[in-house]
Chains A and B, each alone.
Chain A
Amino acid sequence: MAANRKIELNIKVNNKDYKLFIASNKRLLDVLRDDLGLTGVKEGCAIGECGACTVIMNGKNVCSCMILAGQAEGAEIITIEGLEGPKGELHPLQEAFMETGAVQCGFCTPGMILSSLVLLKNNPSPTEEEIKEAISGNFCRCTGYKQIIEAVQLAAERMRGGGM
C-alpha cells in the first residue's frame, strides 16, 4: 500500500489565509476540525447524507466529509465560526434560530444555518417550499423542522430590512 505523502494546502477559511502541510488522505472535514480547530463543523454520517458537516465552499454549500482536503486547494471556505460579526455579534440567522427554538441538541444547527445562508444570498425572499428544498440535505432529529423554517423566514425578513 502506498505511503501517505504530505501535501501542501493553501486555503482561505473564514477570511483568513492558511498554508498547511497535511496528510494526503485527509478530508476537508478533518482539516477544518483537527488542524484548524473549527469544531462547529460536525461529523455525522460521513457518507454525504446528513449535512452536519456542511460548509460553504466558493459560495456553495457542500458536505466537507465528501471532499478530499487537496480538492479544496485555493478555495474559500466559510464555516459557522465565520458568521460572527467584527464585535462578536451573532448573525441574524443565528439570532433567529435561537429565538424560534430551532436549536435543540444543536448538532444540525451549523450546517442548517450555512445552507440557509446560501439560500438567502441567492434568494432573499424564499417561499416555504424553497426553504424546505434548500435544507433538504440537512437532517434534524430533534425539531421536526417547523421551527427551523420559521427561523429562516424571520432571518430573511430582518436581513431584507437592511439588518445585514
Chain B
Amino acid sequence: MQNFNFIRPDNLEEACDLLVRYKDRAKLITGGTDLIIALREEKLPNCLEIIIDISNLKELNYIKEEGKYIRIGSGVRHAEIANNKLIKKYAPVLSMASSVVGSPQIRNKGTIAGNIITASPAADTIPALIVLDSILVIRKGKEKRKMFLKDVFEGPNKVNLKSDEIVCEIYFEKLPLGAKSNFIKLARRNAVDKSRMNIAVVAQQNKNKEITNIRISVGSLTPIPERFKDAEDLLLGKLPTQDLIQKAGKKIAEEMINKSGYRWSTEYKEPVVKSLIDRVLNGIVEVE
C-alpha cells in the first residue's frame, strides 16, 4: 500500500483549495474502488502526498428538480440514484443503469462521478448519461465551468480534467413526456463483472408512430462513449419496422468497426450488438 496523508475536508470550498494547492500531489476519493486498487498496487505517482476524502460532503449529495433540469450532486451513490423517484420519473434509463452497476456493496459506495472519472468504456451509467445529453459542472478553486459529458472523454480510462478540478454536478434535461427509455446490460456474470456491453436508448413516437426523437449509446464498443448518430439519423422521422431496426443495428456495427478498427473481439461483438439493438428498441418502440 502506498503512503499518503489522509484529509477529510469539512466543506467543498476547503476541498477545492486543497486541490489547487497540491495539484498532482493530491487525489480525491469518493467511492474509492479504483483508487484503492491503484494504491495497493502502488500504481499512483510517487509524488502523491494526500488523499482528499470528499465522500461525505453534503454539498455534493443531492438529487433535485430545477425547472426543466434534473441535477445530481457528484457524490450521490448508485444505489440512491437507482431508487430515486425523480430519476425514475424523468430519466428511467439512468435508474435502470445505476441499478445494475457492480454489486449491492459497490452500489452502496460507488458514486456517479466516480464512474465518469475512471472513464472505463464498460461503465454502466455512462451510456445512460450520454443519451440524456448530460452536462458536468466542474469546479477549480472558486471558478466553475460546464462541459458536455461526451466531451470529457479522451480515450479509454482517460478524461480531460486537470488535477485541480472537481466534478461537482451532473445535470440533464428531463426526458419529454411520452419519451420512452431502455437499458440492457450484457455481462458474463451479472454482479460485479465490468459490464461487457451495455446499451441505452431513448425513443419517442408521434401519433402516427413516426420516430420523433431517438438517442442511442452503446458502452464498450468505441474508445470514447458517444451517441450513434448514423443509426439515429436512419431511424429519425421513420415508421419503425423490423427491417428498419435491423438496418439500425447494422449501422451501429459499422460505426463500431470504423471507430475501433476490426479487432479480435469484433467477430463476437458485431452479431451481439445487432441483436441487442433489436431487443432494446423492440422493448420500447411500437413497430409496424
Q: How far is the CA of A44 from the CA of B36 in the complex (A)?
A: 15
Give me the 10 closest cross-chain CB pairs, A-B, nearest first: A137-B103, A136-B191, A24-B6, A70-B6, A2-B49, A60-B108, A137-B105, A4-B3, A63-B105, A49-B192
Q: Which residue of A lies closest to B191 (CB)?
A: A136
Which of B1-33 touch A at CB < 8 Å?
A: 1-6, 8, 25, 29, 31-33
Q: How far is the CA of A63 from the CA of B33 in the complex (A)?
A: 9
Which of B79-119 touch A at CB < 8 Å?
A: 79, 102-106, 108-109
Q: How far is the CA of A44 from the CA of B117 in the complex (A)?
A: 27
Q: Which residue of B lies closest to A54 (CB)?
A: B105
Q: Name the distance in Å between A21's Cβ and chain B's nearest Cβ.
A: 13
A134 near B: Cβ within 8 Å?
Answer: yes
| Size of B's binding interface in residues, CB under 8 A | 35
State which of B50-58, B65-73, B237-245, B249-257 sits at the interface with chain A: B50-58
Taking a contact as CB atoms closer than 8 A, the residue among A7, A115, A134 that contacts B6 in the complex is: A7
Q: Name the distance in Å between A9's Cβ and chain B's nearest Cβ.
A: 10
* Contact yes or no, A48 B40, CB < 8 A: no
Q: Mark A45-56, 1 if CB is under 8 A from B, else 0.
A: 011110100100
With A61-B108, A68-B51 already in contact, the answer to whether A25 and B103 are too (CB < 8 A) is: no
Q: Mark A69-94, 1 if CB is under 8 A from B, else 0.
A: 11101000000000000000000000
Q: Mark A1-32, 1 if CB is under 8 A from B, else 0.
A: 11111010000000000000000111100000
Provide the residues of chain B in CB contact with A60, threshold 8 Å: 79, 108
Q: How far is the CA of A60 from the CA of B77 in the complex (A)?
A: 12
A62 near B: Cβ within 8 Å?
Answer: yes
Enumerate 10 A-B pairs (CB-CB under 8 Å) in ascending A order: A1-B46, A2-B3, A25-B6, A26-B1, A48-B36, A49-B103, A62-B109, A67-B32, A68-B32, A71-B8
Q: Name the distance in Å between B113's Cβ and chain A's nearest Cβ.
A: 16
With A2-B50, A68-B51 already in contact, the answer to whether A63 and B106 are too (CB < 8 A) is: yes
* Contact yes or no, A4 B191, CB < 8 A: no
Provide the residues of chain A in CB contact with B40, threshold 8 Å: 46
Q: How far is the CA of A70 from the CA of B32 in the complex (A)?
A: 12
Binding site for A on B (CB under 8 A): 1-6, 8, 25, 29, 31-33, 36-37, 39-40, 46, 48-51, 53, 55-56, 79, 102-106, 108-109, 190-192
Q: Name the distance in Å between A28's Cβ and chain B's nearest Cβ.
A: 10
A35 near B: Cβ within 8 Å?
Answer: no
Q: How far is the CA of A49 from the CA of B8 in the complex (A)?
A: 26
* Contact yes or no, A51 B5, CB < 8 A: no
Taking a contact as CB atoms closer than 8 A, the residue among A49, A67, A136 that contacts B104 in the complex is: A136
**Among the interface residues B36, B37, B106, which one has the most CB atoms of the partner chain A within 10 A?**
B36
Q: Name the distance in Å between A55's Cβ and chain B's nearest Cβ.
A: 10
Q: How far is the CA of A69 from the CA of B8 in the complex (A)?
A: 11
Q: Name the distance in Å between B245's Cβ and chain A's nearest Cβ.
A: 30
